[in-house]
Structure 1
Amino acid sequence: MGWALIIIDMQEDFFEEGGVLSQKRNILTKNINDLSSFCRGKDIPVIWVRQEFHEDLHDAFLIMRKRRIQKTIKGTIGCQILEGLKKEPEDIEVLKKRYSAFFRTELDEILDNMNINKIIIAGINTHACVRMTTIDAYQRDMEIILAVDCINSYDENFHKDSLRYLSGYIAEILDNKDVIHRINQI
């Protein structure tokens, strides 16, 4: 059984100028590029998970429909992978409609077909999509590493609370240096 790197929601709309995440854009981009490059060098699959909705929001979650929130709309620049991130042709892409990368997507099938039972998670937002994906992976008896240098939220308190909650029984929280060390031991 092997490893995969799952990168969640690193999309332009979430890093809009002036938002809290816009200040973290460069460091997250660098750290994710470093980690994904390392993983590819170790033949660890890299899976990009993107949120994408139709313009009429019929496929969006309830609060988006109620408030007419136009984020990550299909065909817009805002729904694309963040400029500067190095997505390679061999990388896999999964589209999602809810917080968890597992909810009504082909991620389970992809991981099963590749014989993956251990995942490294990177991306945003720690308190929402990262947290839900981590919990769903835990419910599938997967070993999970949260690459803390590659994860963040628009709210620092939500980020810290989520890491504290997930740490220990659900996931291991490691910086890139320790993720690389762990994988090199295999």
Structure 2
Amino acid sequence: MDKLLLVIDVQEDFFRTGRLAEKRVQFTLALNELLTQFRDKNQNIIWVRQVFKDDLSDSYLTLRQSKQKWTIEGTVGCEVLNELVQKPNEPEIIKKRYSAFFNTELEEILNAIAPSEIIIAGVNTHACVRVTAIDAYQRDYQLVLAKECIDSYDQGCHDESFGYMVNSGIGVPLSNAQIIEKLKS
């Protein structure tokens, strides 16, 4: 049975300052461990990136209203962290909203792969990770939350959202060691 690793928004802009910048080395080491294991076991990996036009005309409402800019098309900030290796055969979804399902080809790709389980990794727990996880759950996918590879710039938001996803049954939290053990079976 195919398993799939869904890697959400591990982009330079989110790891420049603050809590995620401080955890960058630890986070990327853990995610690289999963990426290596998924590739070694010939399992699927899908990358998701949030990318906006410079004028924010394609961004979500709050961002347009605030005029803050991050993950802008053509900038280093919208690129996947340079410590991570993205292979050409691994699909990439470009999204404009929190959910990786909203107006993207993700559902079509998942229908073709028909994974038995989706392992979610990425940032930010309270926004793009949580909303994508809920949308996957609403489509009846079995979800695993990669505990060492999901985080947020805000500890409180991370804790609350991660707890919500676990306590409501949306996803099962597993360590890298537990996920890797499941890949062997």
TM-based fold match above 0.5: yes
Identity of aligned residues (%): 47
For 1:9, the aligned partner's letter is D
Query: For structure 1, which runs of at least 5 residues remain unmatched after alignment?
Result: none
Distance 2:115 2:2 in 1: 5
Structure 2 unmatched ranges of 5 or more: none
Aligned partner letter, 1:13? D
Number of aligned residues: 184
The runs of 4+ residues in structure 1 deviating greater than 2 Å are none
Deviation digits for residues 139-171 of structure 1 (CA, Å, limit 9, x no counterpart): 000000010111100111111111111115110
Cα displacement (A) at 1:115: 2.1
Partner of 1:55: 54
TM-score, normalisation: structure 2: 0.96
User: Which residue identity does 1:15 align to in structure 2?
Assistant: F
* Aligned pairs (5 A) from 1:126-145: 126-145=125-144
Compute the TM-score of the two structures, normalised by the length of structure 1. Answer: 0.96
Distance 1:92 1:45 in 2: 9
Map Cα deviations across residues 77-129 of structure 1 (whole Å, 9 max, x no partner).
Answer: 00000111111122111000011111111000001111224200001011111
Answer yes or no: is 1:93 the counterpart of 2:92: yes
2:7 is aligned to 7
Work out whether residues 10 and 50 of structure 1, in 8 Å CA contact, stay in contact via their aligned partners in 2. Answer: yes
Q: Partners in 2 of 1:101 and 1:184 — Cα distance? A: 28
- CA-CA distance at 1:133 after TM superposition: 0.7
Say what the alpha-carbon RMSD is for the aligned residues. Answer: 1.0
Structure-to-structure mapping, 1:1-186, within 5 angstroms: 2-16=2-16, 18-168=17-167, 169-185=169-185
